[in-house]
């Protein structure tokens, strides 16, 4: 009989109340684990109980440690993490970066609070448990299960504020057909990195977004005020306006890592344009993020730097995990 551990962290799935004070996460993991699982058994543990918009890197490290502990239990066949949708893609990607077990970790949540007239959390949890225990998904790493679709953590992002399935991107690896889970693909995996050390908590990585008329002032401030790295979410295939290439060069010279991503929802960073565009930004020392969106690029940068990767060694280390 397969056994799944459910780790609760809060989020809408654990929230109640819709009055003037707003919904607040209160439900425990044990309450979320109440469901119909057939022959599967489920145990639960609370790691956090908070909205995911309140999480810092310190809390992400705690979740990663809890997931690794659960995976190491020989009596556990898979792990489910319940999580707020706001920042779920960031936590999921950190868990993927450090995941080395053949057992699956599946993140899920809800778009409706637990006390809403039609809560979606119970169904999402049941489907996530099914995915975590599935022999067909063994070796698939960290996944996101929501509203009948299971996708890889890498490349996923919240793409809608209120839709029943707010996530897009990544690779769809399975879907529900009635009460059956149908496995359709297996994600490509990268070698696992070490768990984040305590220094991960304070590794400051800022995201600066390019837009029409943007100046590099905020970028420069981030560097001056102590950021270890800056992710530049450029326009299009990875571009920014006047002055940014010069600011990137100064940042890199000062020992601050610069990652070039894109504000576009989908597609890779492909340096093409000069005159201050992506070609000049890379020539100035920015490291292209490939298909990683700015949020997941930030998580990878924070983990690498906290593990002791030097600015000189960063481009090779970062590129190895794209």
Per-residue pLDDT reduced to its tens digit, 256-311: 999 999 999 999 999 999 999 999 999 999 999 999 999 999 999 999 999 999 99
pTM (2 d.p.): 0.97
Region 62-69: mean pLDDT is 98
Q: What pLDDT does 71 receive?
A: 98
Please tell me the distance from the alpha carbon of residue 175 to that of residue 287, in angstroms, as a whole number: 35
**Same fold across 3-183 and 203-319:** yes
pLDDT averaged over the chain? 97
The pairing of strands 24-25 and 15-16 is antiparallel
CATH entry 3.40.50.40 includes domain 203-319: yes
Catalytic residue from among 85, 108, 203, 309: 85
Catalytic residue from among 9, 12, 82, 262: 12
Write out pLDDT tens, residues 229-269.
999 999 999 999 999 999 999 999 999 999 999 999 999 99
Name the pLDDT band for 17 (thresholds 50, 70, 90): confident
Tell me whether residue 319 is one of the annotated catalytic residues.
no
Q: Which fold has domain 3-183?
A: Rossmann fold (3.40.50)
Write out pLDDT tens, residues 106-140.
999 999 999 999 999 999 999 999 999 999 999 99
Sign of the CA dihedral with 291 first, then 310, 227, and 240 last = negative
Residue 12 reports pLDDT greater than 80: yes
Residue 51 reports pLDDT greater than 70: yes
Region 196-223: mean pLDDT is 98
As given in the structure block, the two tokens for residue 97 are 């970066």
Tell me whether residue 12 is one of the annotated catalytic residues.
yes
The residue extents of the domains of the chain are: 3-183, 203-319
Per the DSSP assignment, residues forming a β-bridge with 231 are: 207, 259
Region 200-226: mean pLDDT is 98
Q: What pLDDT does 18 receive?
A: 65
Write out pLDDT tens, residues 135-173.
999 999 999 999 999 999 999 999 999 999 999 999 999
How many residues belong to the chain?
Answer: 322
Helix, strand and coil in the chain, % to nearest 5: 30, 25, 45
Q: What pLDDT does 57 receive?
A: 98
């Amino acid at each position: 009989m397969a056994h799944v551990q459910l780790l609760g962290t809060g989020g809408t799935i654990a929230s109640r109340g819709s009055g003037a004070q707003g919904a607040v996460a209160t439900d425990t993991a044990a309450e979320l684990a109440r469901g119909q699982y057939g022959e599967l058994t489920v145990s639960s543990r609370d790691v956090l109980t908070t909205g995911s918009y309140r999480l810092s890197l310190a809390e992400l490290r705690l979740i990663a440690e809890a997931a690794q502990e659960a995976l190491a239990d020989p009596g556990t066949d898979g792990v489910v993490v319940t999580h707020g949708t706001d920042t779920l893609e960031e936590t999921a990607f950190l868990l993927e970066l450090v995941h080395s077990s053949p057992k699956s970790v599946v993140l899920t949540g809800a778009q409706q609070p637990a006390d809403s007239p039609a809560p979606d959390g119970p169904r999402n949890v049941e489907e996530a448990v099914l995915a975590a225990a599935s022999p067909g998904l063994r070796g698939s790493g960290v996944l996101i299960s929501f509203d009948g679709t299971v996708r890889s953590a890498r490349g996923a992002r919240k793409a809608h504020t209120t839709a029943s399935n707010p996530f897009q991107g990544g690779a769809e690896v399975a879907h529900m057909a009635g009460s059956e889970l149908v496995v359709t693909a297996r994600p490509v995996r990268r070698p696992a990195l070490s768990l984040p050390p305590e220094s991960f908590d304070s590794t400051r990585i800022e995201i600066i977004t390019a837009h029409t008329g943007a100046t590099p002032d905020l970028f420069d401030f981030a560097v001056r005020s102590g950021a270890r790295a800056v992710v530049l979410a450029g326009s299009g295939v990875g571009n920014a306006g006047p002055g940014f290439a010069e600011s990137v060069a100064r940042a890199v010279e000062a020992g601050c890592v610069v990652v070039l991503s894109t504000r576009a929802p989908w597609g890779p960073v492909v340096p093409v344009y000069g005159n201050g565009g992506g070609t000049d930004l890379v020539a100035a020392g920015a490291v292209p993020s490939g298909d990683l969106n700015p949020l997941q690029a930030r998580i990878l940068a924070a983990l690498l730097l906290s593990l002791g990767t030097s600015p000189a060694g960063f481009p090779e280390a970062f590129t190895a995990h794209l």
